[in-house]
Amino acid sequence: MELTVDHLGLAIAGKKVLQDVSFRWQQGQVLGLVGRNGVGKTTLMRTMTDQYRAQQGGVFLDDAALCHHPALRQQLLYIDPANLFFKRNTLAQISRYFAETYEQFDAGRFARLAADHDLAMGKQYGELSKGYQALVVMALDLASNVPFVCLDEPFDGLDLFIREAIVKNVIAAVANEGRSFLIASHDLRELDGLADRVLFLRNGTISHDYELESLREKAVKLQLVFKDAEIPQVVRVHGQILNVRGRVLEVLFKDYDPVVEAAVKAAEPVLAAPLPLELSDLFRSEYQDNEGERVHG
Amino acid sequence: MDDQQFSHLAYYERLVLDVKQQITTGILRPGDKLPSVREMAQQVKLNPNTVAKAYKQLEADHVVEMRPGLGSFIAEPDDAAQQAAANVVRPKVEAAVLEACAAGVSEGTVRGWLAQIYARQGGQTNGIDR
Amino acid sequence: MGKMMKVMFRRHRPVLLLLLGVMLVIWGVSFAEAVSSYHQADRFTPITVAEYKRDNPGVTTAEAKREIPKMRKEALRYYPQSTIDKLGWAPTGNFLQSVDPVWLIAVVVVGLICTGWDSLSGFDRFLFGLGRRKDAYWSRLTVYGGGVALFTLVRYALDMVGMPLAVGATYDEMTLFSGVALIGLNELYALSCFLFAAVVAQLFGNFVAIVCAPPLLLLLGLGAFSRVDYWLVQLGLGAGGERFFLYIVLLVVCGILLWLGQRLYRSQSAEFDGHFLTAPHLYWPLFGLSWVASIFALLDSLSWTRLGVLVPLLLLFAGIVFGLRGRLHGRFGRWLARL
């Protein structure tokens, strides 16, 4: 099964929030969705699940347009943390709502997951602490048995153990059940190891779609110090300066082939040490232009 | 996995090296069963697809063999495979030595480095002396 | 659709129960007062054959037995004189009863609130995510429409049957009391107003419904209806048939509005911004016009002593202010949000 988002566009109050968003999402993939605050990550998820009617484009499940086959929306789940309808319901009531609407929902599994965290089914959702609320949402996502799940900031403001629990749940769901996740998050460290691909949302469109492992095979982040203050051409053309600390440059080379490598050596750096390439580096490279100015949206 | 010198590699490459290192240091012996993809993913907190890629690489390198229905096991040292691997590694070592010479590093220093590296690996190796 | 009904019913059950409870209380008070009014009126009506014969010499027993129920029915003209009904204005002649304005206001307001409070809410978004926009709309209308219809039928039945029983009418008299064989058109009209309110509420969520629809509905339900009815009477269309036709036309219009509402509801995004019907430059004239029209209608038919109607109107106004806060864009909206 493959979910395709095709040229999705949406304007709110006259402002174009989503311009031309397209990407493919295979089953069993974990996609990260990354961007500056307010760029439209949540809007994208809401548009994908028809909470906002897309004005252009559409979402397809294996060539079937979801707007023409609304029953297929059962295969996509997004619990919007800003618009929860069940804040005043107990866990048992929530389970019932989901069981009656999502055909594949497994109420028994939800009960077991709640029990694992010592949550009584009679507890009201709104009375739980933030961490437990996040676990309940995760439990609903898992028990729904829906193949494509959208998570919106699942790590936001949670303690280490709860974050680990969520990561563990995602990994298990992908490995055991072939579930797929689209995770919008600012927690780049968690996404780093978890995501197969990361989508960068910028100016209402997906500006980059990195397959992390492939990128890590080709790309390199180097700590460079040169004899002169002048920045060598190879760095300016093939690399992107992420950070400058005095004479020390942190440069990202997205395609560090032997030619580039030779050119760097030819520039005779005083220091050239490889550094681990993290998602935050890619984030910096995306939203920061070469003069070091931070870019919004 | 956390070794600084490998930190710039892709996660799956690091995992491959990690397993290979565990074999050379004797932590993993031929016939030992590797954790399943799921278990390994949980242990190292990585995407299962990344772990699956690492396992595929290990299999391609004849380090690990897949027994259907049973799992992944450390392979017996295979002479032919090891010879092939050695043939790949040798030019790399030659290149490194050449570079050292070009950089003006003396042979003694290089030998000293080798001693340190081997000391760090520790334990016995499964290698064949060529 | 059946499953959606179940889910919608469970979601709205507490509100429905509250609604029915309030309506039962209102009706209960009204009924008690009607019975007591009847008993008061009854003192002037002979109830025994002997008394009737005494007042009308030369009448046979059989005639007496026929006439007594008629006289008692005549006395029933006084019966819907409960405190609530005394507030009524614009009587529509004697087709069945006068239009009960407070009942209409109550039903409309409740309709708006009940169907509006959850429209375009988190629950709706949840249903949209399941691809069930259409079902959400119809199931909500059905649940509330069903509740109101049920209550309306019960009220009608109790009025037509319970009232006679409560005042001790004989079996023969009950047929006279029952009058028309149709369901009380008053109640039917109330139901259609309710459904209209519900449609509007669902289209826009509670806030626009509270703002825009009530004045329109007041106009429709009270002023315009009775005015048009009055004109029909003036034109000589006094008999039941023509005015009955008017009511049927009203129902058809409501049906069309329901269908139209459903189409609009489905086409709309959960964030109503950008939809032409809620665009500010269309919204303010509509809003202004409806209020101006309804004020005229009220002044036309209301004398300044009818303070009883002001209470629900004040509630509506408060609802408007409250509902508007934080929902509008532009300078006025921001000012309102700071109140």
Percent with pLDDT over 70 in chain C: 23
What is the Cα–Cα distance from C239 to C232, expressed in whole angstroms? 10
Task: Please report which confidence band the pLDDT of residue C226 belongs to, taking 50, 70 and 90 as the band edges.
Answer: low
Instruction: Give the largest Cα separation in chain C, rounded.
Output: 82
Contact A145/A98 with Cβ under 8 angstroms? no
Residue of A nearest to B36 (CA): A175
Mark yes or no for CB contact A171/B38 under 8 Å.
Answer: yes
> C246-278: per-residue pLDDT in tens?
555 655 655 555 555 555 554 444 344 334 344
What is the Cα–Cα distance from B87 to B66, expressed in whole angstroms? 25
Mark yes or no for CB contact C133/A12 under 8 Å.
Answer: no
Residues of C in contact with A76 (CB under 8 A): 129
Q: Which of B47, B50, B51, B99 to mutate to test the interface with A (most CBs of A within 10 A)?
A: B47
Residue A76, CA atoms < 13 Å, CB-side half-sphere:
34
Residue of A nearest to C127 (CA): A101
Q: Which residues of chain B have a pLDDT value below 50?
A: 123-130
Provide the residue ranges of all domains of chain C, joining segments of one domain with +: 2-13+81-162+178-337
Contact of A70 with chain C, judged by CB distance below 8 Å, is answered with yes
* Surface of C (264-283) touching A: CB under 8 A: 267-271, 273-274
Task: Please report which confidence band the pLDDT of residue C128 belongs to, taking 50, 70 and 90 as the band edges.
Answer: confident
State yes or no: pLDDT of C43 exceeds 50.
Answer: yes
Return the SS3 of B65: strand
Would you state the pLDDT for residue C241?
52
Q: The complex's ipTM? A: 0.85
- Mark whether A and C touch (3+ CB pairs within 8 Å): yes
Q: Which of C117, C127, C128, C267 to mutate to test the interface with A (most CBs of A within 10 A)?
A: C128
User: What mean pLDDT value characterizes chain C?
Assistant: 59
Contact A30/A14 with Cβ under 8 angstroms? no
Which residues, other chains included, contact C200 with Cβ-Cβ below 8 Å and sequence gap of 6+?
A: C112, C208, C209, C212, C213, C261
Tokens of A73: 């929306």
Return the SS3 of C132: coil
Amino acid code (one letter) for A3: L
**Chains touching A (3+ CB pairs < 8 Å):** B, C
What is the Cα–Cα distance from C97 to C330, expressed in whole angstroms? 47
Residues of B in contact with A221 (CB under 8 A): 8
State yes or no: pLDDT of C280 exceeds 60.
Answer: no
Would you state the pLDDT for residue A21?
95
What is the Cα–Cα distance from C166 to A220, expressed in whole angstroms? 92
**Chains touching C (3+ CB pairs < 8 Å):** A
Please tell me the distance in Å from B122's CA to the nearest CA on chain A: 26
Q: Phi, psi (5° rounding) for residue B106?
A: -75, 160
Provide the 8-state DSSP code for C219.
I
Q: Which helix (H) or strand (E) holds B67?
A: strand B64-67
- The sign of the torsion formed by the CA atoms of A59, A64, A66, A71 equals negative
Which carries the bigger pLDDT value, residue A107 or residue C299? Answer: A107
Q: How far is CA C65 from the centre of its chain?
A: 38
What is the Cα–Cα distance from A235 to A241, expressed in whole angstroms? 8
Would you state the pLDDT for residue C140?
78
B64-77 b/e (C-beta count within 10 Å ≥ 16 → b): beeeeeeebbbbee
Q: What is the DSSP string of C58-113?
A: T--HHHHHHHHHHHHHHHGGGTT--HHHHT--S--TTSSS---HHHHHHHHHHHHH
A160-173 b/e (C-beta count within 10 Å ≥ 16 → b): eebbebbbebbbbb
Mark yes or no for CB contact C129/A49 under 8 Å.
Answer: yes
Would you state the pLDDT for residue C327?
46
A123-137, A155-169, C114-128, range with the lowest pLDDT:
C114-128
Helix axes C61-75, C2-42, angle to 10 degrees: 120
- The sign of the torsion formed by the CA atoms of C11, C13, C16, C21 equals negative
Mark yes or no for CB contact A51/C125 under 8 Å.
Answer: yes
Contact of A49 with chain C, judged by CB distance below 8 Å, is answered with yes
What is the Cα–Cα distance from A87 to A291, expressed in whole angstroms? 46
The predicted model gives C41-60 an average pLDDT of: 74
Mark yes or no for CB contact A171/B12 under 8 Å.
Answer: no
Percent with pLDDT over 90 in chain A: 59
- The sign of the torsion formed by the CA atoms of A51, A53, A59, A63 equals positive
Would you state the pLDDT for residue A15?
80
Helix axes C185-218, C133-157, angle to 10 degrees: 130
Which carries the bigger pLDDT value, residue C115 or residue A296? Answer: C115
Q: What is the DSSP string of C165-181?
A: HHTT--HHHHHHHH--S
Name the residue among B68, C296, C159, C51 with its Cα closest to residue B59.
Answer: B68
> A5-27: per-residue pLDDT in tens?
999 998 876 788 899 999 999 99
Tokens of C214: 């009530």
Contact of A78 with chain C, judged by CB distance below 8 Å, is answered with yes
What is the Cα–Cα distance from B105 to B109, expressed in whole angstroms? 7
> C133-168: per-residue pLDDT in tens?
777 777 877 887 777 677 767 766 766 666 667 766
What is the Cα–Cα distance from C82 to C77, expressed in whole angstroms? 12
> A70-81: per-residue pLDDT in tens?
889 999 999 998
Tally of CB atoms within 10 A around C256: 10
